[in-house]
Structure 1
Amino acid sequence: MENRITTMRRTEASVLSTNKVIRNTYMLLSLTLAFSALTAGLSVAMGLPHPGLILTLVGYFGLLFLTTKFRNSGLGIVFVFALTGFMGFTLGPIISAYLSLPNGGSIVMQAMAGTAAIFLGLSAYAVTTRKDFSFMGGFLMVGILVAFLAGLGAVFFSIPALSLTVSAAFVLLMSGLILYETSNIIHGGETNYVMATVTLFVSIFNLFTSLLHLLGFASND
């Protein structure tokens, strides 16, 4: 009887801890998305140029490193906003380029709607079914690394067909990452809401930019 009570208490504590991580993750994710949208909007309004690939990569990986290092302290929150704000800043010039097209506004709105639908749908599926998608971890890690390197190759060697292939691959990979990370939180594999937020934010960001690229190509722009 005593063992049963102890087990029940441990299970209850685990459920409460998981629910807290989920709640904190989605709260922080909402705030970072809003902040990123603000910095992207300011970048568009001010007509700022894109900082370039090298500065973008240095800024992204540098802030990601600092966020990871301080993930268990208050500074982790600061660096999360610095990272997502920087990503919004780099997104602004890309959005401006699409908005300058004849049907650019429609392309941007479709990409936003598609991103929201995919994220909400996959998140709801993972939460309601509570399926374990941990088996996808290795595949996603390798796939994202290969797609990232292929994307760099497409930029340096100016290969449009490869760039489109990478965008299509990222749509699938980021969808898988959303399922994986949400499942990871539910089943206690991810207990740090700062890192969970970063993973989901990066998934949403890459999903949006990839859809933007594909929709722009489909519209012959």
Structure 2
Amino acid sequence: MHEPNSYALQSAQAEQLEVSRVLRNTYGLLALTLGFSGLVAYVAQQMRLPYPNIFVVLIGFYGLFFLTVKLRDSAWGLLSTFALTGFMGYTLGPILNHYIGMPNGGEVVSSAFAMTALVFGGLSAYVLTTRKDMSFLSGFITVGFFVLLGASLAGLFFEISGLQLAISAGFVLFSSACILFQTSAIIHGGERNYIMATIGLYVSIYNLFVSLLQILGIMGSDD
């Protein structure tokens, strides 16, 4: 007969193997989707495609997102993941053209890219190294989502000085918290589907990059 300690050890080993599998698949798929999204963004930027209507963006993003959620346990989920990240890459192309057209626009884009990579790498390494449970951030993320949603809606109807900068800064903090939370969820068993883990991290990286672009662009325009 196996002793209880033996069962506990086997369970812990199985758990660790599962965590390693999800991490490996998540970061592998994330690298592929970031590369694909970057390629689509480059093509859209070179072709100078216009930024789509806001309703097209919302329908495209949420439609593909919920399709991915529905298909997350099948091979079709991979296809919808690339469709979603490719669509977001397409929306990034016109944004890049906007900032590249500014004085020192190239520096703004490269700085935002470097800062995004540094923040994502640093936060991920922190959680993976310390293995801290970041589930306590769920409340902050929920509140932050509604605060940023309200601020964004206010920005559409009212001209408030400094609001856009505040929203962008808020999204940097929000995205950083999401990266910590999502990475921790993989390690501690809260997320076992690597497709959903990939989408969560991708969206956080996308929002982080665009928010840093806006901050650096606003600061650069004040010079």
Alignment match, 1:185: 186
Deviations 1:156-181 (A, max 9, x none): 44545222111000000100110111
Deviations 1:54-77 (A, max 9, x none): 111111011000001111111111
How far 1:152 moved relative to its partner?
3.1
Alignment match, 2:148: 147
Q: What residue identity is the alignment partner of 1:194?
A: I
Alignment match, 1:30: 31
Segments of structure 1 that go 5 or more residues without pairing to the other structure are none
Percent of aligned pairs with the same residue?
A: 52
Alignment match, 1:220: 221
How far 1:49 moved relative to its partner?
0.2
CA distance in 2, matches of 1:56, 1:145: 19
Segments of structure 2 that go 5 or more residues without pairing to the other structure are none
Change (3 A) 1:85 1:160: farther
Q: What residue identity is the alignment partner of 1:105?
A: G
SS of the residue 2:221 aligns to: coil
Alignment match, 1:59: 60
TM-score (structure 2 length as normaliser): 0.96
CA distance in 1, matches of 2:10, 2:220: 57
CA distance in 2, matches of 1:177, 1:105: 28
How far 1:145 moved relative to its partner?
2.6
How far 1:146 moved relative to its partner?
2.1
After TM superposition, the structure 1 = structure 2 runs for residues 52-131 of structure 1, keeping only pairs within 5 Å, are 52-131=53-132
Alignment match, 2:205: 204
Change (3 A) 1:57 1:156: farther
Q: What residue identity is the alignment partner of 1:25?
A: T
Task: Tell me if structure 2 keeps the 8 A contact 1:167–1:210.
Answer: yes
Task: Tell me if structure 2 keeps the 8 A contact 1:155–1:163.
Answer: no
TM-score (structure 1 length as normaliser): 0.97
Q: What residue identity is the alignment partner of 1:123?
A: S
Task: Name the Cα RMSD after superposition.
Answer: 1.2
CA distance in 1, matches of 2:175, 2:161: 21
CA distance in 1, matches of 2:166, 2:130: 31
CA distance in 2, matches of 1:220, 1:17: 48
SS of the residue 2:79 aligns to: helix
